[in-house]
Amino acid sequence: MSATVARIPDNRQPTIPDAAPERRPPWGDVGFWVLAILFATILLLPLYVLFKVSVSTLAEATAPRPSYLPREITWANWGRLLNWDIIGDPLRHSLIVAFSTAIVAVLIAAPAAYVISRLPRGTRYFIVLGLLLTRMFPEVIIATPIAANFFSWGLNDTNVGLALAHLIRALPLVTWVLVGTFEVIPRDLEEASAVDGSGRVGTLLRVVLPLAAPGIAVAAIFAWLDSWNDLLYAIYLFLTERTLPLITYYYANRGTVTDVATFSIILTIPVLLLTLFLQRWIRSGYLSGAVKG
């Protein structure tokens, strides 16, 4: 055995037979892979179907027995809907609102999260838990009076109004992520900077902020995604204007199946790319921190 190890530098070779009996999954290796492939297929199937319908002719998409593979590929739906007259205004609203929400959320939440992260453990836990508990409020209980107020203030159908509404969901989320980010920045660095003669504001801007930048970026993207995906506040506040989720909804109600699928894919592409890019950061860390308190 040891001779084999010495002769073959690839250390995977000898460990496979050794480790195999120990690592038997619940249903055996074959069962494991069948299950993994089954789950992977089910998880990807809805997106595949949306894409398939978006490149199908209307006749094919409404046929009695749907086919798994496209019989005939057409880009006509994409060509018709990627038209500035249809998609321009909703896209503009969605982009402006999402970016404003992300930026303002960070501007409001980051300073507060810094202070909260420097509080003693008990108080900090209490505040973060309180912010998370705001999730217990059904959104409609907030949206109903907010919509009524915004109408009387003339904020309906405006980007400002919608961004203000999206902050309601974004702020607790961003604060939560940023408290976790600031917590791990050692206080010694701030004290060292203070000894060097920087004021507190200077220390914050020159020492703490650059170290927190990656976390702030991740939190901003979370807020951006949340705003980009939102239907609830948009449907309450936008009566004549449209955002991308809103036109997807209206097409789902009244449009053709191919148009719905095409809009869905258009709406999904940026979100999917950002999420897959973010997956390194959407790991257990934030969540396990919350579970353990």
The verdict on 44 binding another protein (CB under 8 A) reads yes
* Helix axes 84-117 and 159-183, enclosed angle (nearest 10): 40
Q: How many residues bind another protein (CB under 8 A)?
A: 96
Instruction: Please tell me the distance from the alpha carbon of residue 229 to that of residue 243, in angstroms, as a whole number.
Output: 10
Quote the strand ranges of 148-246, DSSP E. Answer: none
- Report CA-CA distances (Å) from 268 to 22, 99, 166, 221: 42, 17, 19, 15
The verdict on 83 binding another protein (CB under 8 A) reads no
Least gap, CB of 8 to another protein (angstroms): 19
The verdict on 128 binding another protein (CB under 8 A) reads no
Least gap, CB of 214 to another protein (angstroms): 19
Residues 98-117 as x/- pattern, contact with another protein by CB under 8 A: ----------xx-xx-xxx-
Burial status of residue 16 (CB atoms within 10 A of its CB: 0-12, 13-18, 19 or more)? exposed
Instruction: Please tell me the distance from the alpha carbon of residue 185 to that of residue 192, in angstroms, as a whole number.
Output: 13
Instruction: Please tell me the distance from the alpha carbon of residue 49 to that of residue 116, in angstroms, as a whole number.
Output: 45
- Give residues 157-216 in contact with another protein (rule: CB under 8 A): 164, 167-168, 171-172, 175, 200-201
- Give residues 248-277 in contact with another protein (rule: CB under 8 A): 248-249, 252-253, 257, 260-261, 264, 267-268, 271-276
- Give residues 15-34 in contact with another protein (rule: CB under 8 A): 22-28, 32
- Which of 102, 131, 208, 216 contacts another protein by CB under 8 A? 131
- Which of 1, 3, 30, 136 contacts another protein by CB under 8 A? 136
Cβ nearer to another protein, comparing 10 with 22: 22
Six token digits for residue 166: 């999206």
Cβ nearer to another protein, comparing 2 with 210: 210
Backbone angles phi, psi at 75, to 5 degrees: -100, 15
Cβ nearer to another protein, comparing 9 with 145: 145
- Which of 5, 8, 59, 63 contacts another protein by CB under 8 A? 63
Dihedral over alpha carbons 33, 37, 39, 42 (to 10 degrees): -160
Nearest to 228 by CA among 195, 196, 275: 275
